[in-house]
Amino acid sequence: MEKNNKIYIAGHRGMVGGAILRKLKAEGYTDVITRSSAELDLRDQNAVNTFFETEKPEYVFLAAAKVGGIHANNTYRAEFLYDNLMIEANIIHSAYKTGVKKLMFLGSSCIYPKLAPQPLREDYLLTGPLEQTNEPYAIAKITGIKLCEAYRDQYGCNFISVMPTNLYGIGDNYHPENSHVLPALIRRFHEAKMKGDPSVTVWGSGSPKREFLYADDLANACVYLMLNYNEKELVNIGTGEDLTIKELAGIVKEVTGFEGELLFDASKPDGTPRKLMDVSKLSGLGWKYTTALKEGIEKAYQDFLSK
């Protein structure tokens, strides 16, 4: 991937796509193209075909997706399956038809079975049932991986897949119902501080463990793999380290400056006890994250305050 190649980022207004866009611009790539959802409906096959035939991108980062937290995934099950299937199928097929040199598909750690051994290795895919609440989203993402593999097998396309762990950072979604755990905590602690609340109650026991990667570190890994990885097998992207929700809440409390009490409602569900990525393949390829969790949360909080 040369600095003057035409590169298309699908989903550049999302947190991941936006981070990839910043990374490419910082590295001096001069011909990066984007389209907002208002300009190009990626669920529309004809529109996507026309876009690829007209623009002829050489490299594609497929970061576009309909995303959300547990509540959104469980509530809009049909939309999460249909929209994501259409987006990835249209882009991958058009990339094949127009001779794209290389495409990267970004999945999600929810593709792995609910009760898979920890840490999650790439070869655990399709070895057991999925988490029920986000099964439609996971099935759509698994389909994207299998599309890339099938187009590689049948047509020789250099389409690769990467699986990020839980992400946070600049451009995150802080919606009170549809956001993920870390941005939701940032919002709740900030609002509690502003209102002078005596305490913040977090759902569950606080004992589940989760892994978090700063979105700009993910973008760094994506560009690194676009330059250095050309194999069929998917690659996990994460830190290989996790912490409890209680520990996470403590960091967010400190960063936001909330001085009240931190409480846990153990009557609420905890979800999966642990979700940690095995990143030994990525480490073997020569990449490691650089942004410490507290430093990343500080950056994310400043971004939240700027909204």
- The catalytic residue positions are 137
188 marked among binding-site residues: yes
Question: Is the dihedral angle over the CA atoms 31, 32, 37, 41 positive or is it negative?
Answer: positive
35 marked among binding-site residues: no
User: How far is residue 188's CA from residue 194's CA, in Å, rounded to a whole number?
Assistant: 10
206 marked among binding-site residues: no
CA distances from 216 to 18, 164, 223, 300 (A): 9, 12, 11, 11
The residue with tokens 């950056």 is: 299
77 marked among binding-site residues: no
Evaluate whether 174 touches 307 at the Cβ level (below 8 Å).
yes
Q: Which residues contact 163 (CB under 8 A, 6 or more apart)?
A: 106, 107, 108, 109, 111, 122, 234, 235, 236, 237, 277
68 marked among binding-site residues: no
165 marked among binding-site residues: yes
108 marked among binding-site residues: yes
Neighbours of 176 (CB within 10 A): 10
User: How far is residue 205's CA from residue 254's CA, in Å, rounded to a whole number?
Assistant: 20
223 marked among binding-site residues: no
12 marked among binding-site residues: yes
Q: Three-state SS for 25?
A: helix
28 marked among binding-site residues: no
Evaluate whether 4 touches 30 at the Cβ level (below 8 Å).
yes
User: How far is residue 116's CA from residue 171's CA, in Å, rounded to a whole number?
Assistant: 31
123 marked among binding-site residues: no
43 marked among binding-site residues: no
228 marked among binding-site residues: no
1 marked among binding-site residues: no
| Three-state SS letters, 67-109 | CCCHHHHHHCHHHHHHHHHHHHHHHHHHHHHCCCCEEEEECCH
44 marked among binding-site residues: no
Is the N-terminal amide bond of 119 cis, ω within 30° of 0? yes
13 marked among binding-site residues: yes
Q: Which segments are annotated as binding site for substrate?
A: 188, 203, 210, 270
Q: Which segments are annotated as binding site?
A: 11-17, 106-109, 141, 164-167, 180, 188, 203, 210, 270
Q: Which segments are annotated as binding site for NADP(+)?
A: 11-17, 106-109, 141, 164-167, 180
